[in-house]
């Protein structure tokens, strides 16, 4: 691949990433959430209670980021943390009723954001998009882990 092709691809990915995050922030703000917190809530809704270290791995973020997010979400009443029975140093995180209600709002927002993002694309492209994006992520992850 030559530089011009590489530049077009890399710039497009960069722009999409920045704009998607900014749009996510704008949509989450009225709910009192910051980007990343919605992913934590959605993960707990999908999997149920889990240890913070598991959350960190599932979200692909560093443990201190999960600690900060859980503290903020706990302070706002959306999650609760309790010592893990098997390891008192670890905390199990779970949604509260408030968190479950907020997650329902996040799911609606998430659907609207996805629809907004893929507007104008053919249905077949939309159907193929998760696979393409997951392949791109996997390619970058494989290189990052090899370094």
CATH of the domain at 62: 1.10.10.10
- Domain count along the chain: 1
CB 40 within 8 A of CB 59: yes
For the chain, strand residue ranges (E) read: 50-51, 79-84, 87-95
Kindly report the pTM of this predicted structure: 0.86
Q: For residue range 60-110, list pLDDT tens digits in order.
A: 899 999 999 999 999 999 999 998 888 878 889 999 999 999 999 999 999
Over residues 96-116, the pLDDT tens digits come to 999 999 999 999 999 999 999
Tell which residue, 86, 106, 128, has the closest CA to residue 43.
Answer: 106
Q: What is the domain extent for residue 132?
A: 3-146
Q: How far apart are the C-alpha atoms of 52 and 69, rounded to whole Å?
A: 10
Return all residues near 17 (Cβ < 8 A) that are at least 6 apart: none
């Amino acid at each position: 691949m030559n530089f011009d092709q590489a530049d077009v691809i890399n710039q497009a990915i960069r722009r999409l990433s920045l704009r998607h995050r900014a749009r996510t922030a704008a949509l989450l703000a009225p709910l009192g959430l910051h980007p990343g917190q919605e992913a934590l809530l959605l993960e707990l809704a999908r999997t149920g209670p889990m240890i913070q270290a598991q959350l960190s791995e599932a979200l692909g973020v560093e443990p201190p980021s999960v600690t900060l997010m859980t503290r903020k979400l706990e302070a706002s009443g959306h999650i609760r943390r309790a010592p893990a029975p098997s390891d008192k140093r670890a905390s199990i995180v779970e949604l509260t009723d408030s968190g479950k209600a907020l997650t329902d709002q996040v799911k609606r927002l998430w659907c609207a954001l996805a629809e907004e993002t893929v507007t104008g694309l053919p249905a077949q492209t939309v159907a193929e998009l998760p696979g393409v994006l997951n392949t791109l992520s996997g390619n970058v992850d494989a290189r990052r882990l090899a370094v």
